[in-house]
Structure 1
């Protein structure tokens, strides 16, 4: 009897939280709004006309591209570590290897996000001068 109560309580909570999220997704007017704002921020500004502005923008885009690529690599490593852990089937050596890889890849992701945040901060600071 208590298993039925626990199961029904679980599904009730699950569906009540999902019902709160669905209207929020429907209220967004433009699904590309955030992407368009990001594109406007990162687009190469050709209106400045100055070679110095072009070089600064090019360097900023290059750094952003490199950080994005490294972030994707760490994300793939995180997924690989999770799959390795799930397929270890109780083998302690494989589980330890997967845990270490997962820890290292999460630390790498944190470093990449911090580097990106620092780059954006410095770029905004330098461009405002």
Structure 2
């Protein structure tokens, strides 16, 4: 029984790291390259840096030099970072709840109780409710801010 559990853990880890590598490769290849017009007299290193800068601007990794950051843009970036962090926390809670649920139904060294399964259901439910509340709050805030800006501009 213990060997079977170790094999399952090894397979799960192998699948997880394989998916991690695949998604990293796919995300990296999505950065399409755009070539800016070559300035006369530039050497290869400057041209390569110009190409990299243009690609980063096109992929929205960096902002263009002409546009000065606005307060609204900075606040939007902070909100996006916070929401990304909360998305990662939600994902980790769902994974933890799922693993707890799977382990709750197995009999390893004496047996698991229904408490483990109920705990897993509670974790998944609370994580989902938390995500819905955060997303709803973001939508309401975004709507109100856009309406305030719309009224202020008009």
Using structure 2 for the length normalisation, give the TM-score: 0.47
Q: Which has the larger radius of gyration?
A: 2
- Indicate yes or no: 2:75 matched with 1:59: yes
Mapped contact 1:82–1:98 kept (Cα < 8 A): yes
Higher helix share: 1
The reply on whether 1:80 has 2:102 as its aligned counterpart is no
2:133 alignment counterpart: 111
4+ long deviations beyond 4 Å: 43-49
Gaps of 5+ in 2: 1-29, 32-58, 106-111
- What 5-or-longer segments of structure 1 have no aligned partner? 1-30, 33-38
Could you tell me how far 1:108 is from its partner in structure 2? 0.9
CA distance in structure 2 between the aligned counterparts of 1:126 and 1:68, rounded to whole angstroms = 25
Number of paired residues?
A: 90
8 A contact 1:84–1:98 mirrored in 2? yes
Q: Distance in 2 between matches of 1:71 and 1:110?
A: 11
Closer/same/farther in 2, CA of residues 76 and 55 from structure 1, 3 Å limit: same
Match of 1:12 in 2: none
Report the RMSD for the aligned CA atoms in angstroms: 3.1
Matches within 5 A, 1:22-61: 49=68, 54-61=70-77
For 1:119 and 1:47, how far apart are their aligned partners in 2? 29
TM-score by length of 1: 0.54
Q: How far apart in 2 are the matches of 1:96 and 1:66?
A: 30
